[in-house]
Chain A
Amino acid sequence: MSIRSQFTLFSNQELNTPTPFIYLDNAATTQKPQSVIDVITHFYQHQNANVHRGSYNTANQVTARYEQARVNLANFIGAKSDTNIVWTKGTTESINLVAYAWGETHISDGDTIVVLGSEHHANFVPWQQLALRKGANFEVVNVLENGDLDLAHYQNLMDKKPKLVAVQHCSNALGNIHPIKQLTELAKQVGATVLVDGAQAVAHIKVDVQDIGCDFYTFSGHKMYGPTGIGVLYIAEDIKHEVNPFHFGGEMIQSVTIEKTSFRPIPALLETGTPNISGVLGFDAAVKFMQNEQTQHELASTSDLYNYLISQLSQIDKVRLLGSTENNIGVISFVVDGESVADIGALLNEQNIAVRCGHHCAMPLMQALKVNGTVRVSLAIYNDKSDVDGFINALRKSLDILCC
């Protein structure tokens, strides 16, 4: 069974009318393989019960599967233990959670927070706002012309002995992979706490959180073939004691009296309320999908498709590619001189091509690159040469219409 045929959405007749649906917006969200959909459906049809509370078989079985998913996820990213894994709604919630559960008590007046200039707003605004609340310095690493971070500037900023360094593993708008281990080491040398936004990384590169050496690592299920509304916050063992509860309620509790409450340790401490059980089980299926041999094999060949895409795009007049295409997860952003990206997006849409047009929630990066927005094409393992060819033809036609 080919990888693509596991994604039944692509065989939807309606979607492929009048021309084939070409999905190249994978950095926004990926499609879901049948194995993920089946697990979610099966849960609701055959096993629905709440976790951690049941005195009956079904609840206990669901709890066991739910907790096994945590173990599997820990193994997937090389965490020391499943107790380092906190389920969240996704990357955005994870980062905001750290900003409150850790940031409120560990960032104060005069402290420094460092982020990259190419961050997604989700790893930029929470820290900017925390800095504003606390009177801390908010420092942004310069972006080089090719979209990479200015490493010399990053090193200079380390001299300010930042309390927190929050960096993306890969740029969502450009796809370039940052030297995350090196960045973490440099930050650790000056005593900073390090958070890595791995939202774009996990579907493309093998992540080992202990090897990276970061304190927090976060990503979402839906960008790696899993469901929406589920994500992970990895919390390293050494930093756990610095994290306070943020939301209060059931599940997280050891004991409650009228006077006081004592809490259970992480992960329960941060997982109050009934969790997204079907999401966790679907996420677990996505992890299995990522780990299977066929997926790994396909993943290895996406760089060939990416190179083909770049070579085809480069041949089109007036197309200006942005960002480094070396060491990239399979994303290309481009502009066409004299044309608005909204126009290009509208005409591609007419031809049933799904790409993202705009600022990609990375306005500071757009400012650094001196563009209002880009057209972003992002690949996933089910994309093939016919997708790229279809897109290139459609782009040529769009530009022909716009320039007539």
Chain B
Amino acid sequence: MPTNPKIIIELGEQFELNEVAVIELFSPLKNWEEKFRQLMLLGKKLPILPIDHQLDEYLVSGCESKVWLVHQWHNQTLSLAATSDAKIVKGLIAVVLAAFNNKTKTQIIEFNLDNYFAQLNLLNQLSPSRANGVHAIINEIKSFVDNVH
């Protein structure tokens, strides 16, 4: 469990972006450059994960770059906070958190990820190892849901 549940709940609340907003941001973008610039901007919207939460036990395995992901259940919703040492990955984390942060267990289970990424037209922009990294983060979040009582 994270060292400070309160901080994670706060970080989760600070990140207000949701999947509808993300789709709106990406749908007019045509080329790779615009998409990566948007990812950079989204990465900057991630609340800063305190350094004392960037512990090895929160590293997501299967990512090429380092990704720290912490979570806390609060009023039946999942608070998420995460960061990475790579900027593109931070942008991708923001895209993923927009879909899952502050959502209930049912919302997370019912969320249509394939549809989401298809609308963003983003995964085919990524190298296989990057795409695997995104899947690793998503699987980690799904494991939080599976393990909740």
Contacts and interface: CB of A to CB of B under 8 A. Distances in A.
A350 B86 contact: no
Interface residues of B, number: 17
Contact of A350 (B32, B85, B89): B32
Interface string B1-33: 000000000000000000000000000000011
A396 to B, nearest CB: 13
A401 B40 contact: yes
B141 interface: no
Contacts of A397: 33
B54 interface: no
Interface in A346-402: 346-347, 349-350, 397, 401-402
B40 A346 contact: no
B58 interface: no
B40 A340 contact: no
A404 interface: yes
B37 A404 contact: yes
B87 interface: yes
A346 B130 contact: yes
A339 B87 contact: yes
A340 B36 contact: no
Majority secondary structure of chain A interface residues (helix, strand, loop or mixed):
helix
Given A401-B37, A404-B37, A343 B86 contact: yes
A3 interface: no
Contacts of A239: none
Contacts of A342: 64-65, 86, 88-89
B147 interface: no
A345 to B, nearest CB: 9
B115 interface: no
A41 B65 CA distance: 41
A339 B36 CA distance: 15
Nearest to B133: A342
B112 interface: no
A252 B63 CA distance: 46
Contacts of A346: 88, 126-127, 130
Which of A340, A349, A350, A397 has the most chain B CB within a 10 Å cutoff? A340
B130 A340 contact: no
A349 B127 contact: yes
A340 B32 contact: no
Contacts of B37: 401, 404
Given A340-B85, A340-B87, A343-B88, A404 B64 contact: no
A217 B89 CA distance: 42
Interface string A320-349: 000000000000000000011011001101
A206 to B, nearest CB: 38
Contacts of A339: 87
B40 A404 contact: yes
A340 B86 contact: yes
A340 B89 CA distance: 10
Contacts of B85: 340
A178 B24 CA distance: 56
Contacts of B41: 404
Contact of B65 (A340, A349, A401): A340
Contacts of A401: 33, 36-37, 40
A346 B88 CA distance: 9
A340 B130 CA distance: 14
Interface of B: 32-33, 36-37, 40-41, 64-65, 85-89, 125-127, 130
12 contacts: A342-B65, A342-B89, A343-B86, A346-B88, A346-B126, A347-B36, A350-B32, A350-B36, A350-B125, A404-B37, A404-B40, A404-B41
Closest 9 CB pairs of A and B: A340-B86, A350-B32, A342-B86, A343-B86, A343-B88, A342-B65, A343-B87, A401-B36, A340-B85
